[in-house]
Amino acid sequence: MALKLLNPGLRPLGMFDLADADQGNLVGGEYVELVATSTTGAYEGYAADVGALSSGASLAENIVQFTRTNRTAGRLGGLADDGGDEYGTLFGSLIGSNVGKQTQFGTSGGAVVIGPNTEQASGKVTVFAQAGLYGVTQGTGTELTGAVTNNQLSANNATGLLQTSADGDDVAIYVGEMTDTSLVSTTSTAAGEAATTEYHAVFYVGNAAAKNITL
């Protein structure tokens, strides 16, 4: 499971903390939104330029971080890129084994993922906040089952996963299913098998839509 970069917006955000409740729960491709969390207990440190300290406030107050939620237009959000597949892991994948038989794909004899997800290793989350075309696999969820081209997608309030049902403001526009994407090996269709959906292509609409602006 991972967010796939098809024709994305460049230069993602990578300097913000991920909310403690979301640590270890990202699958990649969820919508996450920036929040300022006030806490008086244990907290994770953060870079000086992403704090929101008020005069006289302690370091444990107003920590700026991303969290999985539904979208509120006019707030800073994006698609999280730290999943458990491809380059979402700290040390990548081991391919080859002792006689070169292993590959990246497949449920048997596949590549071995090395190290934890990068968000668990660093506490930071890479967020693509600019509009663009992305691929999402949604883990084992069925939120995009039955989606058709140009469906408006929202994000689930609890998980951030994209879905066809309404929950908050729109996050993306559904493009279509991507099947048999390999260009260097025999596809399932060419071998007489049914094509399988590898991921869903969506257009993330970005953060340009703002509300309640008074001139």
Q: The tokens 């509009």 sit on which residue?
A: 131
Give the span between the Cα atoms of 123 and 82, in whole angstroms: 11
> Looking at the predicted structure, is the pLDDT value of residue 59 above 60?
no
172-179 and 152-155 strand pairing = antiparallel
> Residues 6 or more apart from 112 whose CB is under 8 A from it?
93, 94, 102
The SS3 call for residue 87 is: helix
Give the span between the Cα atoms of 18 and 26, in whole angstroms: 10
Q: Which residue has the higher pLDDT, 111 or 63?
A: 63
pLDDT of residue 51: 58
Query: How buried is 193 (Cβ within 10 angstroms: 0-12 exposed, 13-18 middle, 19+ buried)?
Result: exposed
CB 129, CB 13: distance < 8 Å: yes
pLDDT of residue 172: 94
CA angle at 47 for the pair 41 and 52, rounded to the nearest 5°: 65
Q: Which residue has the higher pLDDT, 181 or 151?
A: 151
Name the token pair of 18.
């991920």
CB 90, CB 118: distance < 8 Å: yes
Q: What is the mean pLDDT of residues 6-35?
A: 85
Q: Within a 13 Å sphere around the CA of 182, how many CA atoms are in the beta-carbon half?
A: 12
Name the token pair of 41.
């207990």
63-68 and 13-18 strand pairing = parallel
Nearest to 35, CA basis, from 50, 55, 14, 56: 50
Read off the pLDDT band of 71 (50, 70, 90). Answer: very high
pLDDT of residue 8: 80
Amino acid identity at 111 = A
Which of 11-20, 66-75, 88-97, 113-122 has the largest mean confidence?
Answer: 66-75
> Looking at the predicted structure, is the pLDDT value of residue 41 above 80?
no
Share of the chain above pLDDT 90, in %: 27
The SS3 call for residue 179 is: strand
